[in-house]
Structure 1
Amino acid sequence: MTSILFRLIANAVALAAAVWLLDDITLGTEGAGTSSQAVTLLIVALIFGVVNLIVKPIVKLFSLPLLILTLGLFALVINALMLMLTSWIAGDAFQVDGFWTALLGGLIVAIVSWAVEMVVDRD
């Protein structure tokens, strides 16, 4: 249970970093309160976690030849697609404008979530 909570927090921090660093990734509406944005961020992190849990392994399986051919670099494209799918599911609460923004956002999310998991998870 704590592992799921740590992953949710890591995803939330990573998504917050992507929203903060990239202007084309927006969270909620402008002028919303900090607490409502935090709740929105947690909901989007939960959606992102479910997408990564269910959809990402299926996409990786079907794109295995491309992953092998590109020596794993196609995983960046898969991360971008998962971020765009999360944006589509979340609707107005989380918006990613364009593929290149999603690619850069996916890279930021991957690096930040890895770093947060390394700091938080002390097993």
Structure 2
Amino acid sequence: MPQFLLTWLVTAISLAITAYIVPGFAVRDFGAALIAAVILGLVNAIVKPILVILTLPLTIITLGLFLFVVNAITIWLAGLLTPGFDVAGLLPALLGSIVLTLVGSVISLLVDRV
């Protein structure tokens, strides 16, 4: 259970930092980031596998690069479902997914060292 809470907190912090870096990607406050982290986790668990299966031919043709677009769609959908978490379109969602992955990886690396 503590690992789940730590992952949730790292994701919320990563969303807040990404909102600071990426234009068109906004989080109202840290409470909204916490809710957005939960919604993003649910969207990644339920919707993302369906999108990956449906877009498998396109993903194979693009040698996996289309998965960036799938990640952007899941973040954009989480933005639609979460009050206080706004994504201005697919391009900010695409850039946000890349930055979110990098920031989340760095924070996770730092947390694992402590």
TM category (shorter chain) comes to 0.7 to 0.9
2:105 maps to: 114
- 2:104 partner SS: helix
- Aligned-residue offset at 1:87: 0.7
Give aligned pairs, total: 113
Q: Where do 5+ consecutive residues of structure 1 fail to align? A: 29-36
1:31 maps to: none
Higher RCO structure, 1 or 2 (CA under 8 Å, sep 6+): 1
- Aligned-residue offset at 1:118: 2.8
When the two chains are superposed, the root-mean-square deviation of aligned CA atoms in Å is 1.5
Conservation of the 8 A alpha-carbon contact between 1:51 and 1:86: yes
2:11 maps to: 11
Conservation of the 8 A alpha-carbon contact between 1:17 and 1:108: no
- Per-residue CA shift, 1:32-70, capped at 9, x if unaligned? xxxxx2222111111111111111111111111112111
The letter for the 1-side match of 2:85 is: F
- Aligned-residue offset at 1:114: 2.2
The alignment's TM-score, normalised by the length of structure 1, stands at 0.82
- Aligned-residue offset at 1:116: 2.2
Residue 3 to residue 64, structure 1, CA distance change in 2 (3 Å):
farther
Q: Where do 4+ consecutive residues of structure 1 move more than 3 Å? A: none
Q: Where do 5+ consecutive residues of structure 2 fail to align? A: none
